[in-house]
Copies of this chain bind each other. A is one copy, B any other.
Amino acid sequence: MIKKRLKTKLNNTPAQAIVTYYFIAIAISVILLRLPGVHKPGVHVNFIDSLFTAVSAVSVTGLSSINISETYSVFGYFMIILVLQLGGIGIMALGTFVWLISGKKIGLRERQLIMVDYNQSNLSGVVNLIKEIVKLLLLIQAIGALLLTLYFTQYYDSFKEALTHGIFTSVSATTNAGFDITGDSLIPYHHDYFVQIITIFLIIFGAIGFPVLIEVKEFLSNKNKNFRFSLFTRLTTITYAILLVFGTIMIYLLEMFHAFKGMPWHEKFFTALFHSVSTRSAGLTTIDVTQFHEGTNFLMSVLMFIGASPSSVGGGIRTTTFAIAVLFLINFSRGKDSVQIFHREVHLIDIFRAFAVIILAFAMVFIATILLSVTETNVPITSLIFEITSAFGTCGMSLGITGELSDIGKVIIMVLMFIGRVGLISFLYSIGGKSNKTKFHYPKERVIIG
């Protein structure tokens, strides 16, 4: 009985903590984004648009119903940067913290996250570790900002302007927010491979997942001779890499005679690579994505739906969910009764979680599509699905309809950004109420399937 209650508590508390943090962060952000002086002189912003920007910034989605560069002052830009840190690094650190603490309490040595197994056996150790990682991410942002600022001096007249753009772009890339103050995403740097490479690295640092960064740090420190990467790190990193390569090849092939027509091969390659990386969750673009085939946009919708690593700055169903679904299908079609990979077996509960996330995600996209098809009668369904998956994947790319959305449409997209960022598992637990273990079992009976 006590054990049961404890388990209930552990199932619910982390999810509620994350959801609560998120709500508080949105409230603070709305206040920050309505402070005097955040807007350019003479610009008026409706409350719903401030709220939309706040939700979009806290969820580091980057969808925007207003033009950021025309609306906000330089002071406003820095308020947005602050909100991005709250949403990006804040939720990522909190999520990882919660995962570590609940893992320690449950005493699951199987989790194999290194700090649980090795030298981080007390609470202050975990806190210190997370502090260190937050510092690391801020350092990455600072290096990115420095490099970009120096480089941007060739684009902008004043050093101050280059610095503003450098800091904003670096934070926007590392937190995978995808906001821009050029007014046109990274399209002005379409031919600038240096800026793109820096940005790609910053995006990947944010999207690859906090625990991965922790483990890589441990690995590089070389303190522990028995070190091995956890199943989670292997699974998410390899899935991330495969999706990145797959996306690049597909976008290249689908657009080489179309939107990329007339470009030299390296420009085609970089444009394909950049958008493959960016669909994971960043949302920055170096070309107008409405120029792509409808088929390419559909592919991008699916990639955004999958999203980034868990415990990262990204959204979507997450790489591990996708990986487990694919591995399950392969194993099942071979008649195996378990999911095995990298000499490890995936827990049944994690397979169940993956399924729950997938089913709920599809249901959400379906319901949102039907609702938006009613509220936004003049927008094509494919643009709606693109916008919906972009919100749920906290990617922030758009086929240009965000500004035209009705107020109800904006609310629906905000809800999707919220759920996408919190993560469906946390969302499920936070609405699901108390854990309710089955007390007795009915007789089992087979049914015909598919």
Digitize A239-261: 1 where CB-to-B-CB distance is under 8 Å, 0 elsewhere.
Answer: 00000000000100010000000
The answer to whether A354 and B449 touch (CB under 8 A), given A333-B431, A336-B436, A438-B340, is: yes
A43 within 8 A of B: no
Q: Which residues of B contact A63 (CB under 8 A)?
A: none
Of B231, B335, B360, the residue contacting A447 (CB under 8 A) is B231
Decide yes or no whether A225 CB sits under 8 A from chain B.
no
Q: Which of A48-56, A124-132, A153-161, A374-382 contacts B (4 or more CB under 8 A)?
A: A374-382
Partner of A425, one of B108, B293, B449: B449
**CA gap between A434 and B333 in the complex, in Å:** 9
Proximity bits, A411-433, B CB within 8 Å = 1, else 0 = 00000000000011100110111
Chain B contacts for A235, CB-based, 8 A: 447
Q: Is A2's CB within 8 Å of the partner chain B? A: no
Interface centre among A209, A250, A344, A424 (most CB of B within 10 A): A344
Let me know if B444 and A335 touch, CB within 8 A.
no
A333 near B356: Cβ-Cβ < 8 Å: yes
Q: In the complex, identify which listed stretch (A189-197, A273-281, A365-373) lies at the interface while the others stay far away.
A: A365-373
In angstroms, Cα B332 to Cα A360, docked, is 11
Taking the complex as formed, is A441 at the interface, i.e. its CB lies under 8 A from any CB of chain B?
yes
Segment at the interface with B among A73-81, A83-91, A144-152, A321-329: A321-329
| A21 close to chain B: CB less than 8 A | no
Of A108, A354, A373, most buried by chain B (CB within 10 Å of CB) is A373
Contact yes or no, A445 B111, CB < 8 A: yes
> Are B335 and A366 interface neighbours, CB within 8 A?
no
In the complex, whether A347 has a CB less than 8 A from a CB of chain B is yes
Q: How far is the CB of A291 from chain B (nearest CB, A)?
A: 15
The A contact surface, by secondary structure, is helix
Partner among B337, B424, B444 whose Cβ is within 8 Å of the Cβ of A347: B444
A359 and B328 within 8 A (CB): yes
Report how far A424 CA is from B450 CA in the complex, Å: 6
Asked if residues B298 and A445 are in contact (CB atoms below 8 Å), the reply is no
Q: How far is it, in angstroms, between the C-alpha of A291 and the C-alpha of B357 when the chains are bound?
A: 35
CB pair A334–B447 under 8 Å, yes or no, is no
8 Å CB contact of A324 from B254, B382, B432, B447: B447
In the complex the two chains form, is B380's CB within 8 Å of A332's CB?
Answer: no
**Given contacts A254-B374, A324-B449, is CB(A441)–CB(B338) below 8 Å?**
yes
- Given the complex of chains A and B, what is the CA–CA distance between A418 and B408 in angstroms? 42
Q: Of B103, B302, B318, B336, which is within 8 A of A450 by CB?
A: B318
A201 contacts chain B at the CB level, 8 A cutoff = no
Given contacts A111-B446, A444-B345, A446-B350, contact A336 B438 (CB under 8 A): yes
Distance of A321 from chain B, by nearest CB (Å)? 5
Residue of B nearest to A341 (CB): B442
Q: Is the CB of B447 within 8 A of A329?
A: no
For residue A69, CB closer than 8 A to chain B, the reply is: no
Smallest Cβ-Cβ distance to A369: which chain B residue: B298
Residue of B nearest to A307 (CB): B450
Q: Do A340 and B295 touch (CB < 8 A)? A: no
Q: Which residues of B contact A324 (CB under 8 A)?
A: 447, 449
8 sample A-B contacts, Cβ–Cβ < 8 Å, listed by A number:
A110-B443, A110-B444, A320-B447, A321-B450, A324-B447, A332-B428, A346-B447, A380-B380
Q: Which 8 A-B pairs have the closest CB atoms?
A: A295-B373, A335-B435, A357-B450, A333-B432, A310-B448, A353-B449, A231-B445, A425-B450
Interface residues of A (CB under 8 A from B): 8, 11, 99, 103, 108, 110-112, 209, 211, 230-232, 235-236, 250, 254, 293-295, 297-299, 302, 310-311, 317-318, 320-321, 324-326, 328-329, 332-338, 340, 343-347, 349-350, 352-360, 362-363, 366, 369-370, 373-374, 377, 380-382, 423-425, 428-429, 431-438, 441-450
